[in-house]
Structures are given as C-alpha cells and as structure tokens.
Structure 1
Amino acid sequence: MRVLAQRVTSAAVTVDGEVVGAIHPDGQGLLALVGVTHDDDPAKAQRMAEKLWQLRILDDEKSASDVSAPILVVSQFTLYANTAKGRRPAWNAAAPRAVAEPLVTAFAEALRGLGAHVQTGLFGAYMQVELVNDGPVTVLLEM
C-alpha cells in the first residue's frame, strides 16, 4: 500500500461537476492519495491509517491526531505505475478493483475509527482533485 500524503489548507474532489468530498480545515488538513497493490490486506490498511494519523508533518511537528486535522482520502491506482521501460506506464502492480476498493474503504474507515474526520473521493470515477498544498509538504508512505 502506498499513500501520497499532502499537507493542505483545503482540498476537494469533483465528479461530473459535483463535489463528492471536501475538507476546509481551520488550519491544516491532509490529502491522502491511496494506491493498493496485490498483497495488501485489511491489517495493512489499518497500520497505514495509524501511520498517517500519527505522521508529524503539520505545523510545529504536530500530527493530524494532535490537532484533529481532517483528511480527504482519494483512490489513486497510478501510484503503482511501472515506468522502468518505454514511455507507456504499466499498471500490473496496481490491485484490481475487487481488491483495491474494499481496502481503500477499510483505510478510510480505520482513520475514522482513530477519530479522524474523513471525506472521500468516488472509487473508480474520473475525478478532478483541487488542493492548496501547504508548504508544500508531500510525503510518500509505503507499507
């Protein structure tokens, strides 16, 4: 599982002109782009949620858990692009929808279980993601 975490002052996901998920924190929040591979499982999704929730990338080395920062979770299979050969990425490392969708949902639910205010995108949809990256701070988490 990979999560590209971005510290944001706002973020929103739009599908077909309709906002399906948005965060507008009073301070900072996180946008979590989530990629799933074939050997991921619910336990890994739980551990990744805990790691993101405790990650100290907000102001004054605080974590989302320290300040109750909201998190926008968006599925992102392209995090598993293989660009080693040629000019066209291969997607064979990304898990198929039947595996990935429940694990992205499990990740978001695990964050909620930890106390996070979580919004989500729409799995498998063509989404437009708007964000104001704060810093900029972007960190790749892998498990």
Structure 2
Amino acid sequence: MIALLQRAQRASVSVDGTSIAHIETGICTFVGVTATDDHSNAARLAKRVAAYRLFSDSAGRMNVNVVDAGGAVLAIPQFTLAADTSRGNRAGFGPTAEPAIANTLFDVFVAELNTRDAPVATGRFGADMQVELVNDGPVTFWIEG
C-alpha cells in the first residue's frame, strides 16, 4: 500500500457539493492499494502513518507525530497512486487492486488508524471527491506499508 502524506493546516473532502469529512491540524493522507497488498500491508501502513514525524518539536525539527501534535488524519482513497507511470503519457492501472479488495484494505487501514489515538476522518471509496487542503510547509512524503 502507498500513502502520500501532506502536513495540513486544514483539509476537507466533499462529494456532490456536500462536505463529508474535515480536519484542522493534521495529515491529509491519500491511500493507494496495489494488487499485491493484504491486511498486513494495511496494518503496517497505518502504524507508519500514525508514527511518522511530520510536525516540529520545540527546536523546529520534524520530530513529532500526528498523535503527539494533537492532530487528526484525513484518509482519502486514491487508486491512481498505485498506477504504473513508468512509460508513455498515460497511466496504466494493472498494478492497482480490484475495487472490492482495495475498499476492504482501505477500511482495514482506517480501522488500524483508529486504534492509534488520532482522530480519523475519511473520504468515500469510489466517489468523485473534491479535496481542499492547506498544505503546511509544504511538507509532503510518499511512504509504503
């Protein structure tokens, strides 16, 4: 599984013009699922996201994770993260998981995040979402689980 983490001052997601999720300070996390992922990948990725140090300590160094910063996570399913972009001008989606599997693993990822003491809000799997984000820094990391 893949997560694109963006430290956010605030972030929200809407579907059909209606806001469905919103966070203030925290991490906006776009999550992609590959065809080779399983429950262990989802659990490992959630653990990494919760522990990843994106926030500054008193010395100004990125040594604080989202939980210790008092932040939240906005998790948004995004199948395009798992696309093959190695050649040409159009992505290939062969490496992505089938929707039913990806949805299940996204749910496992969210459930695991919920056990880690950071408030979690989510986008809607399979929906056409509009995401608003104020990236803080900007700070953006791409990680795998």
State the TM-score, normalized to the length of structure 2.
0.93
Equivalent residue pairs, number: 140
- Identity among equivalent pairs (%): 41
* Correspondent of 2:91 among 74, 89, 94: 89
SS at match of 1:52: helix
Q: Residue type matched to 1:119 in 2?
A: A
Following the alignment from structure 1 to structure 2, what is the Cα–Cα distance between the partners of residues 44 and 31? 19
- Unaligned 5+ segments in structure 2 are 58-62
Residue of structure 2 in register with 1:59 after alignment: 56
Q: Residue type matched to 1:91 in 2?
A: F
Following the alignment from structure 2 to structure 1, what is the Cα–Cα distance between the partners of residues 84 and 20? 29
- Unaligned 5+ segments in structure 1 are none
Residue of structure 1 in register with 2:78 after alignment: 76
Greater percentage in helix: 1
Q: Give me the CA root mean square deviation.
A: 1.0
Residue of structure 2 in register with 1:134 after alignment: 136
Alignment of 1:3-14 (within 5 A): 3-14=3-14
> Which 4+ runs in 1 deviate beyond 4 A?
none
Q: Deviations over 1:99-137 (max 9, x none)?
A: 100111111110111112000001000000000000000
Residue of structure 1 in register with 2:44 after alignment: 47
1:67, CA displacement in angstroms?
A: 2.3
Q: Deviations over 1:13-53 (max 9, x none)?
A: 010000111102xxx30001000011211121111111111
Residue of structure 1 in register with 2:60 after alignment: none
Following the alignment from structure 1 to structure 2, what is the Cα–Cα distance between the partners of residues 113 and 22? 19
Greater percentage in strand: 2
After TM superposition, the structure 1 stretch with the greater mean CA deviation from structure 2, 121-130 or 52-61, is 52-61
State the TM-score, normalized to the length of structure 1.
0.94
Residue of structure 1 in register with 2:34 after alignment: 37
